[in-house]
């Protein structure tokens, strides 16, 4: 069934690769106009072009989710170009695989800054645009590691646990504006990053179809119609 996002405008952060790219492609396939954002310009532009080439509507905007000024620019450019904002997918994130006793203070700070603060800024700063559209939906990509304990990912798990409860708090606080907030908690999923410090171990995990997790998620998570709640 296609077209479930027809008429909707969505922002996907960290959309240059991996799951963010998959989110952007599926939203576009369902009819949304998609703004792909990322710190990685060339790869992000390629995703927007991939959507356009397939007949969809998309553009790329360079965006560091830790920077308020970047958020303001992304939101302004989105509304200027597409007229409104209905959906925000806070997907950008990093993973540093280290046990607690080996995690440097700077690694903790960077993980919390991107994964937790970046999500906070997105929820807070996008809320006025979502409200102006008559309400909307925020989807925060947490992780199974935001729910359970596991070895060698202390900072990451703390950041994804923060995303989980931030989402609950935001859902309560933003409900009065007609904005729904959900967190999503994927397990280990195939991706395309080559950076060493920001890498998932796939040694014990079959490399799967990048759309696998998405195919298991209800797109109603992203929709904004009250009937989909």
Say if residues 139 and 88 touch (Cβ distance below 8 Å).
Answer: yes
The least CB distance from residue 174 to ligand NAD, in Å, is 20
Q: What are the two backbone dihedrals, phi and then psi, of residue 78, each rounded to the nearest 5 degrees?
A: -65, -50
Exactly one of 71, 108, 145, 156 is catalytic; which is it? 156
The least CB distance from residue 189 to ligand NAD, in Å, is 4
- Choose between 177 and 200: whose C-beta lies nearer to ligand NAD: 200
- Choose between 14 and 211: whose C-beta lies nearer to ligand NAD: 14
Nearest Cα to 185, choosing from 117, 127, 139? 139
What Å distances lie between residue 189 and 74, 119, 158, CA to CA?
28, 20, 19
- Choose between 2 and 210: whose C-beta lies nearer to ligand NAD: 210
The least CB distance from residue 199 to ligand NAD, in Å, is 8
The least CB distance from residue 159 to ligand NAD, in Å, is 8
CA atoms within 13 A on the CB side of 223: 16
Q: Is 156 tagged catalytic? A: yes
- Choose between 164 and 177: whose C-beta lies nearer to ligand NAD: 164
Residue ranges that bind ligand NAD, judged by CB under 6 A: 13-14, 16-20, 38-40, 63-66, 91-95, 114, 118, 141, 143, 186, 188-189, 191-193, 198, 200
Write out the catalytic residue numbers: 156
């Amino acid at each position: 069934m296609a077209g479930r996002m027809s008429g909707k405008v969505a922002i996907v952060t960290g959309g240059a690769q991996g799951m963010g790219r998959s989110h952007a492609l599926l939203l576009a396939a369902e009819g949304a106009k998609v703004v792909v954002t990322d710190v990685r310009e060339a790869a992000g532009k390629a995703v927007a072009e991939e959507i356009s080439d397939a007949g969809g509507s998309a553009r790329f905007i360079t965006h560091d989710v830790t920077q308020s000024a970047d958020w303001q620019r992304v939101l302004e450019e989105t509304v200027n170009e597409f007229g409104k904002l209905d959906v925000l997918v806070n997907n950008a994130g990093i993973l540093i695989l280290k046990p607690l006793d080996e995690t440097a203070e700077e690694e903790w700070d960077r993980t919390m800054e991107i994964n937790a603060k970046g999500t906070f800024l997105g929820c807070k700063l996008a809320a006025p645009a979502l409200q102006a559209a008559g309400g909307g939906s925020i989807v925060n990509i947490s992780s199974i590691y935001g729910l359970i304990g596991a070895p060698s990912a202390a900072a990451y798990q703390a950041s994804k646990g923060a995303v989980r409860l931030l989402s609950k708090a935001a859902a309560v606080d933003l409900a009065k504006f007609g904005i729904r907030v959900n967190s999503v908690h994927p397990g280990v999923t195939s991706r395309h990053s080559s950076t060493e410090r920001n890498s998932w171990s796939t040694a014990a995990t079959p490399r799967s179809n990048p759309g696998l997790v998405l195919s298991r998620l209800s797109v109603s998570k992203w929709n904004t119609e009250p009937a989909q709640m």
